[in-house]
Amino acid sequence: MIRRGADQTIQITSGGAGAPEASVSLLEMTGSGSAAAGAYISMVEGLTEAATGVVEHDPEKALGALSGTALERLMAPLIATIGDLRATYGAGLARWFELMLRVGDFPEYTVEVTWPRVVEPTLEDLAAISGSLIALRDSGLMLRRDAVQILSNWTNAEDVDAYLVQLDEEAAQGGTSQIGGAPGADPFGADQTLP
């Protein structure tokens, strides 16, 4: 039993007959044991994240709102683990659906499993990407089709050539996002094309 005595000291007594003799060998007054325990817990957490690929977002490590790119970098081990699991799980799902189609007398169909991105880019990410692509295209270092191909990951344009045709048709009609005209024209006048 540990009691505080009248003179503010710690008195240690044994538990009574047959109990081991009281010892102060494990008593620590400086508090460094809790610091060592905290460091050990942090090390174990880091090893667990490395072994499992699970990353817990720590707001103290990354303050403020994070872009999609920053989140992808922060959660890279977790995203890699998800990719591995998706491949195995997706193959099982595809096989199961193919068997169901075969039982339903549709053997000519094949099934593909596609997954969405784990971390979607923010509007700021897309603005930075599209701005860089526009600069490359305007400087003659990239074809417009290549720029649209890169952006097709976010615009859901499966057929890039058909998408380019739609863009050209929209531009020929005045565009859905172009507001303006000759210098000095009323931007909200009847002669303007609005979305």
| Cα–Cα distance, 20 to 23 (Å, whole number) | 9
| 115 shares its domain with 146 | no
| Cα–Cα distance, 96 to 49 (Å, whole number) | 32
pTM strictly above 0.75: no
| 51 shares its domain with 108 | yes
Q: What is the pLDDT along the chain (195 residues), one digit of tens a residue?
A: 455 556 556 666 777 777 777 766 655 556 677 778 888 888 888 888 777 777 766 656 655 566 777 777 777 878 888 888 888 888 898 889 888 888 888 878 888 888 887 877 778 878 888 889 999 999 989 898 898 888 887 777 788 888 889 888 888 887 554 343 444 444 334 444 444
| Cα–Cα distance, 193 to 173 (Å, whole number) | 9
C-alpha separations of 175 from 17, 92, 180 in Å: 95, 45, 11
Q: Give which of 120, 117, 116, 48 is closest to 77, Cα–Cα.
A: 48
Neighbouring CB atoms inside 10 A of 148's CB total: 18
User: In Å, how far from its chain's centre is CA 107?
Assistant: 38
| Predicted pLDDT of residue 11 | 67
Print the domain residue range for 110. Answer: 40-55+65-120
Which amino acid is present at 44? V
Q: Within a domain: residue 195?
A: no
Of 102, 120, 138, which closes a domain?
Answer: 120
| Predicted pLDDT of residue 110 | 83
| 50 shares its domain with 110 | yes
| Predicted pLDDT of residue 181 | 42
